[in-house]
Amino acid sequence: MRMQSDQIVPDRGAPVKPDPGWAPRTAITGETANAPVLPPIRAGPTLGIRKQWGEEDFGVRADPLREVFASKGTAVNAWVSLDSRYLAEVLSYAGFDCVTVDLQHGMFGMQAAIGLLQAVSSGPAVPMARCPSLDPAIIGKLLDAGAYGLICPSIGSAEQAAAFVAACRYPPVGARSFGPARGLLYGGPDYVEHADDTILTWAMVESAAALSSLEEILSVPGLDGVYVGPNDLALSLGERPGQSPVPRPVHSALEQVVTAAHAAGRLAGAFAADGAAARGLADLGYDLVTPGNDVAMLRAAAAQSIGAIRRGRSDTPAEARSAGY
């Protein structure tokens, strides 16, 4: 882009020389303008607005999920369980507020997860991840890879929740090791200074023990929210997993969690079987809902398309419907 002054554009090399015969025109009228046209704000497609080019720095990339929650809105989360960077990128551009890369049950390991986070962060959705367990080394690596939120499974006590939060925060607040790598690329040059206030921490409530310790878990400083895994919770409560709608004891637990979370000033998120179930969670007041994972969406779409073609034939597949995890 041409400019009327010898201004250095970061990451673009040498100063841009003015063209004496050139003058900018307004975008609407096409008339010549008196003021120079400034370079665009460096940002993602819809988020992460930073300072204009030519200023000292761009600032940390904001997490728009926090804006959604502050406005009492419900964020819609996609869930990646397939090792496909193309699919992760597609989901990021599909309209979801965030996309979670699942290392607990997803069919990939850490190396693939890094590529999936890169794919998500190429689009407008916020990149998040579910770590496979409460392992500070894995948690730190996912954050270093650019995850802007972490969901940690199997949190059953306040002590476990506190250990999870500590793994996500730099000293003196926590114990996260320095080495942000992609965090700096995605978050910006002052990522380290603002990471503790930007990254979202979600402790999974998915057992009877977690329900019994819910108030203590929610009182842990630095924990942003709790996230319900309905199927492991169903198993823990003596119910069959994968049912839709969920069994009554699980539904009662979902009501208990969102009420307690909001009373404690925390966020509440949950996994759901599909869009209709996720809508029900939003109606209960949940701040973050996941309408199934990528495989469930693919199977449901495939069954719908095949059914539309075969129209009632005996070999028409039943609609795929799973509560996921």
pLDDT in tens, 151-204: 999 999 999 999 999 999 999 999 999 999 999 999 999 999 999 999 999 999
Whether 24 shows a pLDDT value over 50: the answer reads no
**Cβ atoms of residues 97 and 68 within 8 Å:** yes
Task: Specify if 167 maps to a domain.
Answer: yes
Catalytic residue (one of 105, 194, 251, 262): 105
Q: How far apart are CA 131 and CA 113, in angstroms?
A: 10
Whether 15 shows a pLDDT value over 70: the answer reads no
Mean pLDDT of 86-97: 98
Is position 105 annotated as part of the catalytic site?
A: yes
**pLDDT the model gives residue 55:** 42
Task: Specify if 199 maps to a domain.
Answer: yes
CATH number at residue 225: 3.20.20.60
Domains in the chain: how many in total?
1
Host domain of residue 280? 64-292
> For the chain, how big is the Rg over CA atoms in Å?
23
The reply to whether the predicted model has a pTM over 0.95 is no
Whether 324 shows a pLDDT value over 80: the answer reads no
Higher pLDDT among residues 317 and 289, named by residue: 289
Task: Specify if 256 maps to a domain.
Answer: yes
Task: Specify if 223 maps to a domain.
Answer: yes
Task: Specify if 71 maps to a domain.
Answer: yes
Write out the H or E segment, with its range, that includes residue 130: strand 126-130
**pLDDT the model gives residue 319:** 57
**pLDDT the model gives residue 314:** 65
